């Protein structure tokens, strides 16, 4: 703790200091591992319930309840963290979530009604520790309070690129880990592993010294004030830190969270969630038609590859390529990939479409998170980050259920059209953001 404090003090005065100096060398590996349980939950719940209750319908409904719980309660957890500090919130949610994962495992293999299983699943999503948005909030606070002002915009862009790439990698690795554990040790193993990881990694993340990072008072300033697009990522450079680990004394009213400049970002993330859910379910329909439904994750992984590569590449884009232009360009690329997926006549063409779509998803994630950081009402940065993350979960839950129903009712061809519908939603949000953002 002393070493990290001294490192952060040097970062305040040393113009050569980096974000790694400010956060400490253990931070990034720990934050990465702490995200893994969240990425394992939805797929793990589906695997457990289908095996334990022998019902694909109940399995899909249960995994959907996990998503709905996270979407409904996740922003409230973010708001709680803005008021009480991340450490307390993470310790409470980690303890509750670990116990609920064990409770669901026991319930599935008992004689309790299906309604109880669904209720526990909702509670699992509702209590999921919000590691990813809290990590972003911590790092933004470190950038605004511990690094020289001239280097903050570039560091913020690179950090949002890394964070988005980390999310993508985790959501590719998570389902793969679930499959390995279920095949090797049985369908309950992924849930037990997720409970253990939550109890260990999330608690360690909560106790890390960065949990007491001062929140910048201008991170961001009121969402009601328009700012130039080029300045969106660089806003709040004149931040005034509050007490360590706590929100600023003067917190913006909650109504500012509903400003259209924030809501357009939420709409974009709902579209990305719709794209994720529609694409994964459509790939399940494609591979199911071929008699190999277990290979859906392999096809889906190609989209993850493109997304990770493009998310990391965003950090080298020139600053004159504005955030609003980046999102609009990425949305067009993503929709183009979706159209290729829809019209693909072979597996090879389908893979090309997935790769192209991924190339659009990565920059969209990075750019929207950067805009969200800049547009967060004063003292509500974690709330906004959690709203964005929860929007992805909500969209994914809705699209998974809707695309699955459509595949059963109208066939695989209809399911393959749904990613294009989701891509249109994302493009519409990008156009709306363009209109709401000054040059």
pLDDT, tens digit (0-9, with 9 covering 90-100), for 186-215:
888 889 999 999 999 999 999 998 887 755
Is the overall model pTM greater than 0.75, yes or no? no
State phi, psi for 25 to the nearest 5 degrees: -70, -20
Domain ranges of the chain: 1-13+23-215, 252-439
Tokens of 248: 């600023």
Taking residues 212-239, report their average pLDDT.
Answer: 41
Q: What is the pLDDT of residues 4-33, one digit of tens each?
A: 444 444 445 466 778 888 888 899 999 999
Closest C-alpha among 406, 136, 416 to residue 275: 416
**392 pLDDT more than 90:** no
As separate numbers, helices (DSSP H) first and strands (DSSP E) second, the chain gives 17, 0
Q: Are 189 and 177 in contact (CB under 8 A)?
A: no
| pLDDT at site 225 | 30
Percent of all residues in the chain with a pLDDT value above 70, rounded to a whole number: 84
1-13+23-215 and 252-439 have identical folds: yes
Q: Is 273 helix (H, G, I), strand (E, B) or coil?
A: helix
- The per-residue DSSP string of 368-426 comes to HHHHHHHHPPTT-HHHHHHHHHHHHHHHHHHHHHHHHHHHHHH-HHHHHHHHHHHHHHH
Enter the tokens of residue 24.
């400490």
CATH 1.10.600.10 fits 252-439, yes or no: no
Closest among 102, 37, 105, 113 to 70, alpha carbons compared: 37
Most confident of 86-95, 129-138, 183-192: 86-95
Per-residue pLDDT, 407: 79
Closest CA to 286 of 414, 409, 400, 159: 414
DSSP state of 57: H
Share of the chain above pLDDT 90, in %: 31
Place of tokens 């309790």: 112
pLDDT band at 412 (very low <50, low <70, confident <90, very high): confident
Residue 242: predicted pLDDT? 43
CATH fold for the domain made of 1-13+23-215? Growth Hormone; Chain: A; (1.20.1250)
Question: What is the pLDDT, as a whole number, of residue 387?
Answer: 84
Residues 364-390, mean pLDDT to the nearest whole number: 82
Which of these, 387, 409, 408, 304, lies nearest to 351 by C-alpha position?
304
**CA-to-CA distance for 80 and 88, rounded, in angstroms?**
9
Nearest-angstrom CA–CA distance, 173 and 115: 30
Q: Phi/psi at 241 (nearest 5 deg)?
A: -70, 150
**228 phi and psi angles, rounded to 5 deg:** -60, 145
3-state SS, residue 317: coil
Q: List pLDDT tens digits, range 239-274.
A: 334 434 444 446 778 777 888 989 999 999 999 989
Instruction: Tell me how far apart the alpha carbons of residues 106 and 73 are, in angstroms, rounded to a whole number.
Output: 24
Does residue 184 have a pLDDT over 90? no
Mean pLDDT along residues 88-114: 95
Lowest mean pLDDT among 61-75, 134-148, 418-432: 61-75
pLDDT score recorded for residue 290: 80
Please list, in sequence order, all residues whose beta carbon lies within 8 angstroms of the beta carbon of residue 333, skipping any fewer than 6 positions away: 356, 357, 359, 360
pLDDT at 431: 96
| Averaged pLDDT, 374-379 | 82
Looking at the predicted structure, is the pLDDT value of residue 430 above 90? yes
């Amino acid at each position: 703790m002393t070493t990290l404090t001294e490192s952060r003090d040097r970062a305040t005065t040393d113009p050569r200091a980096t974000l790694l100096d400010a956060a400490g060398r253990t931070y990034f590996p720990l934050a990465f591992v702490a995200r893994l349980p969240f990425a394992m939950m939805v797929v793990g719940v589906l695997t457990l319930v289908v095996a334990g209750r022998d019902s694909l319908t109940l399995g899909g409904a249960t995994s959907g309840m996990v998503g709905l719980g996270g979407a409904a309660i996740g922003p409230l957890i973010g708001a709680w963290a803005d008021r009480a500090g991340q450490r307390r919130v993470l310790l409470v949610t980690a303890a509750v979530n670990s116990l609920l994962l064990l409770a669901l495992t026991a319930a599935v293999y008992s004689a309790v009604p299906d309604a109880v299983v669904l209720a526990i699943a909702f509670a699992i999503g509702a209590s999921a520790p919000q590691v990813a948005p809290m990590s972003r909030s911590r790092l933004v606070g470190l950038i605004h309070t511990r690094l020289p002002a001239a280097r903050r915009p570039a560091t913020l862009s690179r950090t949002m690129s890394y964070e988005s790439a980390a999310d993508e990698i985790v959501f590719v690795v998570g389902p793969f880990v679930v499959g390995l554990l279920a095949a090797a040790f049985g369908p309950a193993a992924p849930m037990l592993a997720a409970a253990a990881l939550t109890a260990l990694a999330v608690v360690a993340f909560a106790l890390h010294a960065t949990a007491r990072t001062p929140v910048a008072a201008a991170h961001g300033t009121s969402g009601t004030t328009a700012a130039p697009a080029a300045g969106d990522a660089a806003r709040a450079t004149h931040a005034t830190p509050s007490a360590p680990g706590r929100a600023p004394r003067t917190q913006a009213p909650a109504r500012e969270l509903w400003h259209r400049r924030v809501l357009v970002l939420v709409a974009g993330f709902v579209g990305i969630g719709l794209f994720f859910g529609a694409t994964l379910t459509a790939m399940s329909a494609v591979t199911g038609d071929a008699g190999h439904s277990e290979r859906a994750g392999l096809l889906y992984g190609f989209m993850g590859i493109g997304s990770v590569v493009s998310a990391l590449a965003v950090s080298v884009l020139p600053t004159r390529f504005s955030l609003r232009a980046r999102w609009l360009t990425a949305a067009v690329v993503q929709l183009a990939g979706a159209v290729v997926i829809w019209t693909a006549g072979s597996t090879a063409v389908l893979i090309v479409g997935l790769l192209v779509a991924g190339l659009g998803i990565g920059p969209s994630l990075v750019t929207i998170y950067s805009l969200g950081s800049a547009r967060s009402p004063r003292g509500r940065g974690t709330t906004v980050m959690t709203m964005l993350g929860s929007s992805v979960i909500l969209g994914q839950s809705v699209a998974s259920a809707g695309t699955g129903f459509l595949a059963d009712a109208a066939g695989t061809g209809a399911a393959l059209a749904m990613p294009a519908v989701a891509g249109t939603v994302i493009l519409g949000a990008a156009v709306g953001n363009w209109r709401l953002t000054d040059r």
